[in-house]
Amino acid sequence: MSFTRPILIAGAGIGGLSLALLLARKGVSTVLVERALRIEEVGAGIQLSPNASRILDRLGLGPALDEAGVQPARIRLIDGKTGTPLTQIPLGFDAERRWGAPYRLIHRAALQQILASAVQKADIDLRLGTELVDCAATAKGVVAHLRSPNIDESFGAGALVGADGVRSSVRTGMGDANVGFSGQIAWRATVHLPTALEANVWLGPGAHLVTYPIDRNGMLNMVAVTRGNEASGGWSQTGSRAELMSWFASWSPQVRRLLEAADTWLTWPLYNGRPAKIGEGRVTLIGDAAHPVLPHLAQGAGLAIEDAAVLAARLEEFPDDPATAFRAYENERASRTAAVQNASRRNGEIFRLSGAAAFARDTVLRVLGPERLMARYDWVYGYRAR
């Protein structure tokens, strides 16, 4: 491609790292700036569904992901009050056969490390401890104000991609600081508790719990979702276990034992916003910066990786014109990201039904059966970036 100046990517999360790798493959040089001094992640797991795995596998990362993570045999949906299994979505070999790539569970830190070492091997200019403060458009690109512990500099780039997460400075710079708090908070913990190779979603009134192994050494990831307010469910703060247990007071002993197994729970406010605009001129957004999504379909990182693949493809298509490439990318992604956001929100509502509505849900789940349930996810997991 013929960009004379590099593309600046703000944020080396899953989206930013994936984009830098995908662009390196197309010969586009990038500078990736990350505010944190180290590439590291909160101690928690992540589900990588086939739509995301397909792109990471194309980058040659499949073997490393399989070495560090696991491929679950199924996702089971369970009545959280009684502990009765309702149905299951077959994964493992069935997922790979149906959707063309594996469904994986992995520790976030391991995923970040795998992406970061691939970035290092590809000789990508990754600048840790460097924050994008703001940026201004010029005739031929952007000038970004970068700040690191020792220097403030003006950096000229051909274009800017904000991969800087839910609280994106790039999005704020385009006038949209509000990201839409959902009224829900996630409680996250990991604990050494060997279990079967499967993800379990425990459904119940007003709350739900997701548990899954993230390695072969018995590390279990747990995410509980309850209502909460943005301030009390602070960003990665330690939550009160007593408060968490109060949401699950009348649930099955199995669920309560799982929750009691973890000493520390971190809380995260959950967002579900749709910014007024995700790009202008030679600036665009990917991942949570563009479309924060509730985790009830486990698709936020998947969408960020898909965004990266589509954006890289459009930049390849319009090599001399990043603004056109960015608008094409934004148009292409709008309906997909909105559909996943909506489906994630709906999933959460369905997980937390009570009374007659919960009874109807359980009946439908039983009647549908595994094969028809799998078919319902074809549009999510079968997605292929053009």
Ligand X SMILES: Cc1cc2nc3c(=O)[nH]c(=O)nc-3n(C[C@H](O)[C@H](O)[C@H](O)COP(=O)(O)OP(=O)(O)OC[C@H]3O[C@@H](n4cnc5c(N)ncnc54)[C@H](O)[C@@H]3O)c2cc1C
By the 10 Å C-beta count (0-12 exposed, 13-18 middle, 19+ buried), 260 is classed as middle
312 touches ligand X by CB under 6 A? no
Q: Which is nearer to ligand X, 190 or 299 (CB)?
A: 299
By CB under 6 A, name the one of 35, 81, 98, 241 that touches ligand X.
35
Window of 5-13, 24-32, 242-250, 273-281 that interacts with ligand X by CB under 6 A = 5-13
What residues are paired with 87 via a beta bridge?
A: 77
Binding of ligand X at residue 268 (CB under 6 A)?
A: yes
Looking at the Cβ atoms of 274 and 318, the one nearer to ligand X is: 274
Contact status, residue 135 vs residue 86, Cβ threshold 8 Å:
no
Residue 164 Cβ, how far from ligand X at the closest point, in Å?
4
Q: Which of residues 238-267 bind ligand X (CB under 6 A)?
A: none
* Contact by Cβ (8 Å): 73, 354: no
String of b and e for 146-158 (b: at least 16 CB within 10 Å)?
A: bbeeeeeeebebb
Closest CA to 293 of 308, 285, 303, 284: 303
Q: Closer to ligand X at the Cβ: 186 or 201?
A: 186
Q: Which is nearer to ligand X, 14 or 65 (CB)?
A: 14
Q: Does the footprint of ligand X cover residue 269 (CB under 6 A)?
A: no
- Please list every residue from 124 through 143 that binds ligand X, using CB under 6 A: 131-132
Backbone angles phi, psi at 217, to 5 degrees: -105, 15
Residue 190 interacts with ligand X (CB under 6 A)?
A: no
- Which residue out of 103, 212, 377, 381 is catalytically annotated? 212
36 near ligand X (CB under 6 A): yes
For residue 279, list its beta bridge partners.
284
Q: Least distance from C-beta 289 to ligand X, angstroms? A: 6
Count CA atoms closer than 13 A to 160's CA, side-chain side.
32
Q: Minimum distance from CB of 111 to ligand X (Å)?
A: 9
Site string for ligand X, 150-189 (x = CB under 6 A): -------------xxx---x----------------x-x-
Shortest Å, Cβ 165 to ligand X: 3
CB-wise, 91 or 163, nearer to ligand X? 163
Q: Is 91 helix (H, G, I), strand (E, B) or coil?
A: coil
Give the number of other Cβ atoms within 10 Å of residue 235's Cβ. Answer: 12
Q: How far is CA 273 from CA 180, 230, 233, 286, 291, in A?
A: 4, 14, 17, 14, 6
The smaller minimum CB distance to ligand X, of residues 268 and 329, is found at 268
Question: Least distance in Å: CB of 66 to ligand X?
Answer: 17
If binding means CB under 6 A, how many residues of this protein chain bind ligand X?
33
Q: Which two tokens stand for residue 147?
A: 């700040």
The C-alpha atoms of residue 187 and residue 221 are separated, in whole angstroms, by: 11
Q: Does 300 bind ligand X (CB under 6 A)?
A: yes
Per the annotation, the verdict on 271 as an active-site residue is: no
Which residues make Cβ contacts (< 8 Å) with residue 178, sequence separation at least 6? 273
The two three-digit tokens of residue 296, written as one number? 């009830």
Alpha-carbon distance values, 92 to 95, 198, 216, 280 (Å)? 5, 9, 15, 42
Just list the catalytic residues. 212
Write out the residues near ligand X by the rule CB under 6 A. 10-16, 33-36, 46-47, 131-132, 163-165, 169, 186, 188, 223, 268, 287-289, 295, 298-302, 304
